[in-house]
Amino acid sequence: MIAVRGVEGQKIAVLGLGRSGLATAAALQAGGAEVLAWDDSPEGRARAETAGFVCRDLSKAGAFEDVALLVVSPGIPHLYPHPNPIIAQAMQMGVPVDNDIGLFFRSWAGPDWDSFDVAPKTICVTGSNGKSTTTALIHHVLTHCGRRSQMAGNIGRGVLDLEPAEDGDVVVLELSSYQTDLARALTPDVAVFTNLSPDHLDRHAGMGGYFAAKRRLFAEGGPDRAVIGVDEPEGVYLANQIATNREDDRLIRIAVSRKLGDWGWSVFARKGFLAEWRKGRQVASIDLRAIKGLPGAHNHQNACAAFAALRAIGLAPREIEAAFHSFAGLPHRSQTVAEKGGVAWVNDSKATNVDSASKALQAFKNIRWIAGGLGKEGGVASLAKDLEHVKKAYFIGHSARDFALQLTGLDHEICETMDAAVAACARDAVAGDTVLLAPAAASFDQYGSFEKRGEHFVALVEALAD
């Protein structure tokens, strides 16, 4: 646990008592704060009381009169589409509002660091798609190379639940826009921006607000090194704001859409090959095509981002390449779960938006595509350009018929449920086909999370006869 610094003797309110909220409360208490916990759900309050925390109803008038700080969980809106009433009350009272990410960055470094031979590092990864895979890949490589590494944030553990730093530690954090938007301290050593596509727009009042939340990781903290994906205009803009000239190697540009050899430091992937260029010449390359855990151009972008971040802290190209080969990928992200009768079954349940589904559709051939769920704003008509390798679609969930209407001319079947879709694919698929679950939709019409949706798919596939 990371004890929060600078809170001794203060009353600190914690709103939202899920995994990160309870870890935050414990870290504040370890730092000497008097914690006042609250959650709208009785179950959340019961968990806090069982853990020994005092609950205070923060919705009541005067609840913040003696409170020095309010710490909120990332899922609770503080501005758009409407501020949570408790957060709005705290702000009206002039009570500072923060989250666990801000507390981590103000508490991570300690006086014992002066005795370390190698100062601990923090690598933070943000963006729309690929954050989790990039984060996990960086952590995997570090561990493979014998470096002590901890992974947290939007993946794995809450940040304040991490172990205190040891000599040479590297902490790798996946940060969502919800987390970067509110944190009062953001000071990573290396910050990574993968890409940007529309998501969570209601929470940020549009694309501009969404990008602004991501940009805070670079503008507020001033990382020693920034790794920026420049395949979209926002990444080009962000890179331009960071670099003082073309040779500025505090910035590493990454791309999968074009060559980047003319910059001071760049990493890009073309036709399955990753190349690192510095000062106008190539210094390293990796053949990504044989790495099973990183299929498709979208994973090649993740590989570029991870490679650049690892090079920024001094790892050698050959070390990184060797570790890439043992990376198995993450569950629910282009995860090959079985091969039966020459048919590959791939679980990409994390493809909850059009952009991530597009990347999955481009990564495989002879696709039998399971898609649908709770469709998002804008629909899926833009996926028409990515259907070249789709032999047939099997639509499920609330938006099944909407998807069929928007993707005219595509051979399809309305299955409605995952059970029916998997059975239909098993009936139709022949050797050489790939059955791909890439929903392009949220899961909440039929499942509690994309993980539950993916787990159901995997269970159904495992039950099929070989």
Q: Is 133 one of the annotated binding-site residues?
A: yes
Q: Is 410 exposed, middle or buried (0-12, 13-18, 19+ CB in 10 A)?
A: middle
Non-local (6+) Cβ contacts of 393 within 8 A are 368, 369, 370, 371, 403, 404, 407, 410, 411, 412, 413
Q: Is 176 one of the annotated binding-site residues?
A: no
Half-sphere exposure of 1 (CA within 13 A, CB side): 14
H/E segment holding residue 414:
strand 412-416
Q: Which amino acid is at 118?
A: V
Q: Which amino acid is at 408?
A: T
Q: Is 177 one of the annotated binding-site residues?
A: no
Quote the tokens at residue 234.
């926002």
CA distance 238 to 424: 46
81 preceded by a cis bond (ω within 30 of 0)? yes
CA angle at 208 for the pair 205 and 209, rounded to the nearest 5°: 50
Non-local (6+) Cβ contacts of 9 within 8 A are 32, 33, 34
Contact present, 132 and 154 (Cβ < 8 Å)? yes
Q: Is 132 one of the annotated binding-site residues?
A: yes
Classify strands 335-340 and 343-347 as parallel, antiparallel or unpaired: antiparallel
Contact present, 311 and 317 (Cβ < 8 Å)? yes
Q: Is 131 one of the annotated binding-site residues?
A: yes
Quote the tokens at residue 337.
């779960």
Q: Which amino acid is at 36?
A: L
CA distance 319 to 302: 17
Contact present, 110 and 34 (Cβ < 8 Å)? no
Residues annotated within a binding site: 127-133
> Which residues contribute to the annotated binding site for ATP?
127-133
